[in-house]
A and B are shown apart, each in its own frame.
Chain A
């Protein structure tokens, strides 16, 4: 069955279809966040037949929708933990594969900047932790060195630790590439297919989804913000509880990108990594995230007060940002739990692994987590024939520093002028093996409407190009002029 057929929009026939077996395979992955996509890829490459099951109309509908897109070295990760291991492994594997998948990498480097004496006093601890974590190239920079490297930083900066290999990646194309590679190597993906329950018969799982039943030998719970609920619904209990923690961001106009080239990290506190100033791969400059505990798992709303505070904090650190307009605001929700670390839980008797609480490093660690899942399954006795020459998808580049589609002739027309998105790019994103399933999915694949005017100029054209494609279209109907 193809994705096209599975992307059934209405769930009206739930009752009738839920008894129907719609797919079966070796490994079912529940959740199309970055973690689920990476696991699907790894297991497909290892030769398993994989089925990724996502409740939304497209991938990246949860925590992976909005993050800082930093590829972490893990210099400040808790030493010796599984999180640290997965971050390291993920970092390495990303470097090994990104060129072949055409995934961009912006070698920005980071500065952990101290603005107070107290912050500076923590530097020794950070340097030592870095050493313990095997990140050997941390370097202490004097105030003069910091200013000569980043002359537009506020003059009150005292010193910084340079983390030269902390980089910026594309937060949406990256997981899309993972999924695409899984699909190209025999995997399947089901959308609008929330998993609501299931049964293990001693050898196989039979999962109930909104689209029908899925049979699989092994199940990997990658449900992110709903990981605990899924465990409860299917296994009858969960060892952890998700405590959603929102992070808001303010995106500055592309004119800001020339002010500062490095990621500016704060000296971390107990509670959070703190507020970061960072370039994006798309050529913007961003401040965020906040850390706000909340009840809602889907509530990615923004609020003016926090956004204004963020903006002012950014201006304190980079005064010239005061003259740069705000392009966008957004929020992401971290799947935090009552504990700090990842919650990787194996139910060996029931062939079930939960990758829970992948809170704030998942974009980096996903590939590492996927390797870990493979090891765990192998230990459980799963055996697959590794694909020797895997198919490799080529993901369209959206990075500002690399050639974009509009620079190549024959693109039809430029639809989104702020982000220079072409008709050819939009049409391509609506087709193929993992087409956009929603308007947000299209935005993440092309950047249409994500620039300065936020759709002022192009929404009409976009509504026309996407007509009939999405359950929730841009327009609510047609009229006669």
Chain B
């Protein structure tokens, strides 16, 4: 274990420098907590908004309409101004009892201890494999997040004429990214009879000139080296082929929570999030979780192991937007401040 100075012992360590983590860290510092450190595995702080090259961001937080990257920068600047310590390229690899974390960084492996830990690692989309979509496995199959990061962070594009699968809020972002990058989606597919995001998707597909095919799902992806076409089925099961050079799977968000899944924390396999109490505390009271890594349960489904369960299929509601996560981060900070001063009940119902 090396470099213990960099990771001097902390009051609060936050895992994830996205809107949740940065807002919590800023609030903690402003409330007078001395040692607050945010760890992020990426070389840059800001989380998902860094790669969302479009508005609307920042309305709730900064009373301005911003794009993702400038919003991310604002979050980071605000945190730094509040004297938050942000450590990048620092991957938390293990959560251990009572706030002990293992962290990998290019300087080496470190163990560090915090009085409280906030778990704020966000969500990602469900990839093709976990959706078990049939077909070949050529290049050109990806999620919106990949399109965004390739385009906004590296100025590259993964395809030119993809089929877009899904009609969630993020699918809208996918269309607008395509438009900006000069990518012309050949169709947008939705299994259901209506788009998941009712408005403004119809409008958007018109605006972007992308045909919206309802009641339609991908049954086969063709193309060994690179995607050449997809076979789609409509509600009557009749098949047809659509030529394309990529498949963009949008949405079906799933928490980026494997750290918690693999840890001692009580975990809810239905939502894919750690189990928390009304203060956002995990089963080990040194740990809190907030932001998009926390996904709520829906409906009457309370059994832990639904037979045909896929983590991602169980999130019918659009994911929380950045502003909501920012708010949750602040809220979590409030609880942690109270907790550190002994004002939270030791364990709750």
Contact = CB atoms under 8 A, between A and B. Distances in A.
Given A417-B41, A457-B145, A474 B158 contact: yes
A139 to B, nearest CB: 33
Contacts of A119: none
B91 A417 contact: yes
B135 A302 contact: yes
B70 interface: no
Contacts of A455: 127, 142, 146
A479 B106 contact: no
Contact of A329 (B89, B132, B152, B311): B132
Interface residues of B, number: 67
Interface string B125-137: 1011110111111
A428 interface: no
Contacts of A323: 269, 304-305, 309
A460 B43 contact: no
A397 B139 CA distance: 26
Nearest to A440: B137
Interface stretch (B28-36, B254-262, B286-294): B254-262
Contacts of A319: 305
Contact of B129 (A326, A407, A408, A480): A326
Interface in B212-253: 219-221, 224-226, 245
Interface residues of A, number: 61
A9 B107 CA distance: 38
Contacts of A81: none
Given A409-B107, A472-B225, A474-B158, A325 B130 contact: yes
B156 interface: yes
A330 B134 CA distance: 10
Contacts, number: 166
B237 to A, nearest CB: 14
Contact of A475 (B134, B150, B219, B256): B150
Contacts of A417: 41, 91
A327 B131 CA distance: 10
A478 B125 contact: no
A459 B127 CA distance: 12
A460 B146 contact: yes
B89 A477 contact: no
Candidate in A254, A412, A452 with the most chain B CB atoms within 10 angstroms: A452
A475 B158 contact: yes
B262 A457 contact: no
B323 to A, nearest CB: 23
A460 B150 contact: yes
Contact of A322 (B146, B158, B261, B305): B305
A97 interface: no
B149 A460 contact: yes
Interface string A284-301: 000000000000001111
Contacts of B133: 304
B149 A481 contact: no
Contacts of B160: 476-477
Contact of B245 (A255, A307, A418, A476): A476
Contact of A304 (B132, B154, B306): B132
Nearest to B3: A409
28 contacts: A254-B258, A301-B134, A302-B132, A303-B220, A305-B134, A311-B132, A330-B137, A414-B41, A414-B89, A414-B104, A417-B41, A456-B127, A457-B145, A457-B149, A460-B150, A460-B154, A472-B139, A472-B225, A472-B226, A474-B150, A475-B154, A475-B158, A476-B245, A478-B156, A478-B157, A481-B53, A481-B180, A481-B181
Given A251-B129, A474-B150, 13 more contacts: A307-B132, A315-B307, A323-B305, A325-B130, A326-B129, A326-B310, A327-B130, A455-B127, A457-B124, A460-B156, A475-B156, A476-B160, A478-B156
